[in-house]
């Protein structure tokens, strides 16, 4: 019976079909080679022998990997995922697929799950490859850092997937969806530092309010969590570190950094699924 449910579940079938289609896209292979190649380049250029705030070896490599991930992953997830629902609608794929006994939820979350897997697995394996290669070449492997970074990457991908699936479900055209995703990404990047500093200086807002506002930005949360893992005092963040670490402990901040993006992505995904189910689908 369990096999039967698994085999015929529309979510599983849509996920399976979507993974197969994704594996044929140039985007996927470019992205996978980019991350795998990036780790190889970092090893070959001797980044593991350089130092940052006392960190050398694999920890140094992982920190750099996470910084690059923070730049590439959100925009990659947004641009590639935001077309999935609205693109299927425009190309009549959805009209046909949803003439089959496939539930609306199964279709939406099947595509969501497929995209999560094809986005997360390449970065996870790139990170894992670095750890394995490091242990082969006699470097100390910081497995605790590896686990936390893997969880942070999963949380960030989930978050941006939820946001892009929502945009995709409510948009009337692919052009509109891509523009919205791009503007959102620009805003989130701008709110990392520039606009926050502007708020602080121009509006003379309370620092706690500004930092609290900043912590609503999943990119900021990810960035701070990456920093706090290798710089427990958050010295590179300056004065903001006092507020953050006085408000929550380092451990709780890491918990927040993993669960907040997941909750945010889940919430947007749920709204996207709701819109998808209740509106005309074509």
Partner 1 sequence: MTQQFNNHIIQIENLSKRFKRQQVIDSLSVDFLSDQRIALIGQNGAGKTTLIRCILGQYNFEGKLEVLGLNPRKDRREILQQIGFVPQTPPPIKLTVNELMHFFERITKTDASAFKRISSQLGLEIDQNLHKPFYKLSGGMKQKLLISFALGRKVKILLLDEPSANLDPQAREILFAQLKDYSKNTLMILSSHRMDEIKDLVNRVIEMDLGKIVLDNLLTEK
> Which of 45, 67, 92, 235 is the binder for partner 1 (CB under 8 A)?
92
SS3 content of the chain, % helix, strand, coil (to 5): 80, 0, 20
171 forms part of the interface with partner 1 (CB under 8 A)? no
Binding mask 223-262 for partner 1 (x = CB under 8 A): ----------------------------------------
Judged by beta carbon, residue 250 or residue 277, the one nearer partner 1 is: 277
282 forms part of the interface with partner 1 (CB under 8 A)? yes
91 three-state secondary structure: coil
Judged by beta carbon, residue 144 or residue 280, the one nearer partner 1 is: 280
172 forms part of the interface with partner 1 (CB under 8 A)? no
The count of residues in the chain is: 282
Q: d(Cα 22, Cα 29) in Å, to the nearest integer?
A: 9
> Which of 28, 104, 133, 243 is the binder for partner 1 (CB under 8 A)?
104
93 forms part of the interface with partner 1 (CB under 8 A)? yes
Q: d(Cα 71, Cα 51) in Å, to the nearest integer?
A: 21
71 forms part of the interface with partner 1 (CB under 8 A)? no
Judged by beta carbon, residue 15 or residue 130, the one nearer partner 1 is: 15
In whole angstroms, the minimum distance from the beta carbon of 106 to partner 1 comes to 9
Judged by beta carbon, residue 245 or residue 281, the one nearer partner 1 is: 281
In whole angstroms, the minimum distance from the beta carbon of 105 to partner 1 comes to 10
281 forms part of the interface with partner 1 (CB under 8 A)? yes
Q: What sign for the dihedral angle of Cα 204, 207, 213, 219?
A: positive
Q: d(Cα 179, Cα 162) in Å, to the nearest integer?
A: 17
Smallest CA-to-CA distance from 54 within 222, 192, 233, 221 is with 233
Q: What is the DSSP string of 184-237?
A: HHHHHHHTTTHHHHHHHHHS---HHHHHHHHTTSHHHHHHHHHHHHH-TT-GGG
2 forms part of the interface with partner 1 (CB under 8 A)? no
Smallest CA-to-CA distance from 181 within 90, 87, 92 is with 87
150 forms part of the interface with partner 1 (CB under 8 A)? no
φ and ψ at residue 55, rounded to 5 degrees: -95, 130
Tokens 């694999």 -> residue: 58
95 forms part of the interface with partner 1 (CB under 8 A)? yes
Binding mask 18-47 for partner 1 (x = CB under 8 A): --xx--xx----------------------
Binding residues for partner 1 (CB under 8 A): 7-8, 10, 13, 16-17, 20-21, 24-25, 91-93, 95-104, 278-282
């Amino acid at each position: 019976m369990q096999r039967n449910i698994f085999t015929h579940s529309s979510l599983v079938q849509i996920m399976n079909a979507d993974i197969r289609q994704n594996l044929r896209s140039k985007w996927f292979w470019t992205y996978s080679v980019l991350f795998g190649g990036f780790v190889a380049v970092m090893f070959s250029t001797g980044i593991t022998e350089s130092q940052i705030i006392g960190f050398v070896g694999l920890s140094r490599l992982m920190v750099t990997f996470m910084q690059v991930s923070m730049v590439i992953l959100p925009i990659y997830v947004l641009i590639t995922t935001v077309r999935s629902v609205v693109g299927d609608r425009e190309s009549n794929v959805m009209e046909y697929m949803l003439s089959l006994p496939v539930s609306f939820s199964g279709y939406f979350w099947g595509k969501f799950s497929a995209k999560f897997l094809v986005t997360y697995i390449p970065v996870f394996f790139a990170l894992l490859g670095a750890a394995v290669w490091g242990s082969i070449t006699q470097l100390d492997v910081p497995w605790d850092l590896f686990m936390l970074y893997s969880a942070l990457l999963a949380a960030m991908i989930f978050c941006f997937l939820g946001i892009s699936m929502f945009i995709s479900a409510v948009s009337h055209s692919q052009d509109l969806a891509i523009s919205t995703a791009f503007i959102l990404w620009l805003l989130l990047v701008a709110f990392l530092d520039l606009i926050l500093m502007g708020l602080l200086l121009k509006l003379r807002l309370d620092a706690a309010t500004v930092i609290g506002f900043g912590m609503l930005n999943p990119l900021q949360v990810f960035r701070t969590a990456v920093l706090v893992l290798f710089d427990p005092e958050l010295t590179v963040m300056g004065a903001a570190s006092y507020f953050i670490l006085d408000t929550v402990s380092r451990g709780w901040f890491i918990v927040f950094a993993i669960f907040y993006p997941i909750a945010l992505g889940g919430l947007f995904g749920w709204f996207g699924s709701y819109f998808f189910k209740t509106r005309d689908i074509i």
